[in-house]
Each structure stands twice: as C-alpha cells, then as structure tokens.
Structure 1
C-alpha cells in the first residue's frame, strides 16, 4: 500500500481522543448506554442461566434447550467485554492487548449468538414444517456435537481479530486494507447476512404452512412462527444497522475527507451500542421457544404474575 494512502487515511490515537473530546456529551451517552446494557444484561442472563441449570437441567432435556443454553452462554461472554467498550467510548485505549482480547470476545460471542439463534430457528422450522425429514432432524438432535463444532469453528474464524488492531477498537482509527482485514470483514458480513436470509426464508415458509393448515398442529405452528419472526426482528434491529454502517465505515477508509469519516464513525458507534441490545432481547426468545421455560422463569422471578390457571401437563414436542 502506497505511502500517500497511509498518511491520508490512518488516524492516530490522538485523533481518536480529539473526536471524543469534541463530542463528549455524545460519547458519554454511548458509554452510559453500554454500561446500562452490561448491568441489565448480566443480571438478566444470570437469572436465565440459573433456570437452565438448576430448574430445567438442560443437559437432560430436549435438543432445543442445549442450543438455548449455548446462546445464553454466548451472551454472557459478550457482556464481559462491555466495560472495556464503555471505557473506550470515553478514553481511547492505547493498550492493544486489552483491545484485541475485547474484540476477540466481541466477535466470537456475537458470532456464536447469531449461530445459535439460527440453529434454534432451523430446528423449529424442520420440526413443524418438515417433520417427515427424519435424517435432518436426527442431525439437529445431536445438539452437543453441533454446539462444540460451532464454538470451534467460530474460534478459528475469529483468530484474525487477535492478530492486529481493529477498526472497532476505536472507530476513528482505521486499519490498512490488508488481506487479513479483508478476510476478517468477509467472515463478519457472511455470518450476519446469510443467517438473516435463512431466518427470513424459515419465517415465510412457516407462515405459509400456517395459512394452509386448518386443523392439527396449528397452535404449534403459530408458536414456531412467532419464534422465528422474533429472531428476524432481533436481527433487523440489532445487527443489520450495525452491519450496513460498518460497510459504509469501511468504504470511508479510502476517503481523504476527515470530517465525513468522523461523522460516519459517530453513527457507527451508535449502532454498535444498539447491537449489544440482543443480550437483553434474547431471553424473550427463550420464552417464545419454550412455554415450560416461560412458566418456570415467571414462577421463580415474578410469582405475582403467575396465572391462576391449571398448569399445562405437557410441553411442546420439539
């Protein structure tokens, strides 16, 4: 890469701190939002994991509970890095080791969260739309093996985030477009857009099947439709604005207009904050996935909201 490109497009830590100082109220707001997401998300996910381990005993339960447990584990591990992110919104970090570790956790666990959300939706789709495809369901029922495979694969794909500084360490600092950076971005966009299209497809097929069904498993289909639609909405709210702004931000690496780059960087930082919201929304999806989980969670943490009705004697079959 030629020297002119390096000099005109690489921002130093001082430039990053200047942007924060010039927009201090905005970045204090961003930091506060991330801090609030950390506190609420950690408390909420701890209560969820308590239900999975001590009440549901997920390892003895159905396939979907193992996937959901891995999803809550991914959310908790993602939350661990949020205090560093909140600090970086007020003070540009010069500790590259801490930065790389935080980014590794961010990429690994956001990727895991997306992967397990997708697997849960695919499992529900095949269970209610194609129950006759036993070979596919037999594979999906191997949830422990699939879960280990997802974590290992994502760990390998996330290693490049540890090898150098990264555009999101402080969004006003940019990497050179090396091969490693390009490969990293391909992985990032692939793990968001491909699952999103898969989820939209599953949602549309379930809705279509629901319209064609007049008797039988109509209630089960409705529950599956609500779950998959909920996952699509979480994606659309938390990940798509973040991904699109990231694409614009990367495109601005080759732009020599610093003010425009800074404006895009501030918008990008805002959508980064929004992307962490999935750690608060995922527990709603657990309730949509399982009426048993919902009843247990409400009875433990909100006993006053328990309906005075006879409890259901059976849980959904999937």
Structure 2
C-alpha cells in the first residue's frame, strides 16, 4: 500500500513519462553514435599519425576532437537508459560519472572552440599585432591547463548525492548550494562562450567584407565558415539552455504536470546538442586544407588520383636543377 502511494505521489523524476518519445530519442543517439564514432576515430587517427597536430599549430583542434570523442562514447549508456524507461541511471555512481563526463567533455569542446575563435579574431582583425593566443596554441601545456581548470567546475557533480542527478529546487538549502553551482556552470559554459564567439564572428566578418585585395571566392568561403560556426553553436546549445531555464523556473513553482512536458522537451534538445560531435570535425578539420588533403590521401586515395590529372597544369612549375636541366616540381606536397 505504501509503494502504491509513492507511485501516485510526486512525479518520479527518473522514469520517463512518455516511453515512445524516449525510444525515439534513444535511437537518435544510437544514430549519432554510429555516424559520429568512426568519423571522430578517423579524424583522431589523421591528427596523430598523418597530420601531426603538434607540428602544425593544431593543438586546439585536436583537443576539440578529443572532447567530442569522449562525449560520443557516453551516448550508448544514455540510449540504454532511455530504452529502459529511465531519464537517468538510478545507480548513483553511474549517474554521477555520466554527468561528470558530459559536463567536462562538452565544457572542454566549448572552451577550445572559444579559444580557437579568439585566435582567429586576432589573426584577422588585429593582423600584425601581438597575439598571445598564437603563442599559447603552440604549447600543449595551455591545453592541459584548460582541462585542469574545468575540473573544479565539474567536481560538484560528484560530491553530492541528488535525486536522479537533477534535484535543484527539490532539496533543502544545504544541498541547493551545490545544485546552484552546477546550474551556474551549465549556463555560463554556454552563454559566455556564445557572447565571445558572436563578437569575434561579427568582427571577423566585418573585416573580411572590407577587404578589397584577394580572391573573392576565398573571402566568401571564409565568411561562410565563421558564420556557420555561430549557427551550429546556436542550434546545438542555445535551445537546450533556454529549455533548462524554463524547466528550473517551473520546478521552483512546483508545477509538476507542466514539468513533465518541459522535461521531455529539455531531454529532446539535449539529444540534439550531441550532434555537435558530428559537426565539429566537418566545420574545423575539413575546412583546414592541410588536414583535408591528409584525410583524403589516407581514406580516399581514388578521389585524390581523379583530382591529380586536372591539377597537373596548375600544380606544377618549372625550375632548373644543379646541372642546368629544366624539371617539373609539383607544388602540392604528399
């Protein structure tokens, strides 16, 4: 009789209220994992063995890929919970570890993305001036420092027990200190980088459009690239942030019936945010010509061979060797 009263009392915040919705969300995460894992693994392979990121000033790019990969490997566990009618794991340790992994890896991805945007801002808008980020990107120690700085922001997810990893507004004031800190981290790690990213992008686009010298096609491509980064960031992260704010407000007002619906919307938008792990390699890695050539050479040599005949005339130049004989030297290095 007691169990029956509990089940019809306050909403069970761990169990899903609409199994069909969460079944669909679980398969979406499976799809993100199936497509994202080989993509991120192949990109990591190129960075480590073909592109040699430590020699090409691509340390920030490499860290973005590492963070996306670690976030990607968490998706099967979340999909498993959704398929079994659970919004979060009911096992306290597993729930906290999952939340820790999601927080730190998504935070790292956003942090390195923001740092990369600042670097591009200085390279385009303040070209020729001293760029401290340009110096930092050559040092792996800076990347390590960013990871270490994220730890104190993420550790609170591990130190307090809370209802289904999601208790803000339901517990007493002593627990709310940790919960409030966790919520502040959630919002600031998205909103502050978005403001920085938006400012850098506006300045970069304005500067590029003022250029009168250079290939117009390349300038348009550069404008499209920096603009698409803001669009992807906005689509992936801002909707779930807004939904989270609405969910907290409704929870504090103790509107349980509405909370059920808003929680479904929030979970759906969080699943959408994981698609960032698929888009980051496309936006950053494949827009780098050196990385793109290394990737094509490693995984699509046939496509490279088809390109070579059409590039023979444009990629070769004549020079004179040591004995005065004219030879052709390819400008594209393999």
TM-score range, shorter chain: 0.7 to 0.9
Counterpart residue number, 1:3: none
Following superposition, the deviation at residue 260 of structure 1 comes to: 0.3
Query: Over aligned residues, Cα RMSD in angstroms?
Result: 2.7
C-alpha separation in 2, matches of 1:236 and 1:168: 28
Counterpart residue number, 2:151: 155
C-alpha separation in 1, matches of 2:116 and 2:249: 34
Following superposition, the deviation at residue 216 of structure 1 comes to: 4.4
Correspondence list, 1:155-174, <5 A:
155-165=151-161, 169=165
Counterpart residue number, 2:47: 52
Following superposition, the deviation at residue 155 of structure 1 comes to: 1.3
C-alpha separation in 2, matches of 1:262 and 1:305: 51
What are the superposed Cα offsets for residues 24-54 of structure 1, whole Å, 9 maximum, x if unpaired? 2111001111111122111110000011011
Contact between 2:96 and 2:158, CA under 8 Å: does it hold in 1? yes
C-alpha separation in 2, matches of 1:200 and 1:83: 33
C-alpha separation in 2, matches of 1:166 and 1:271: 23
Counterpart residue number, 2:207: 209
> How many residues are treated as equivalent by the alignment?
300
C-alpha separation in 1, matches of 2:286 and 2:202: 17
Contact between 1:49 and 1:69, CA under 8 Å: does it hold in 2? yes
Higher helix share: 1
Q: Does 1:73 align with 2:71?
A: no
C-alpha separation in 2, matches of 1:166 and 1:146: 34
Following superposition, the deviation at residue 271 of structure 1 comes to: 0.3
Structure with bigger gyration radius: 2
Q: Does 1:145 align with 2:141?
A: yes
Larger RCO of the pair (alpha carbons < 8 Å, separation 6+) = 1
What are the superposed Cα offsets for residues 57-114 of structure 1, whole Å, 9 maximum, x if unpaired? 111222xx11111011001111121122112213322201001001000000000010
Counterpart residue number, 2:319: none
Gaps of 5+ in 1: 1-6
C-alpha separation in 1, matches of 2:193 and 2:239: 15
Which residue among 288, 291, 316 is the counterpart of 2:289? Answer: 291
Counterpart residue number, 2:78: 85
Counterpart residue number, 2:327: none
- When normalised by structure 2's length, the TM-score is 0.81
After superposition, the Cα gap between the structure-2 partners of 1:266 and 1:103, relative to the gap in structure 1 and judged at 3 Å, is: same
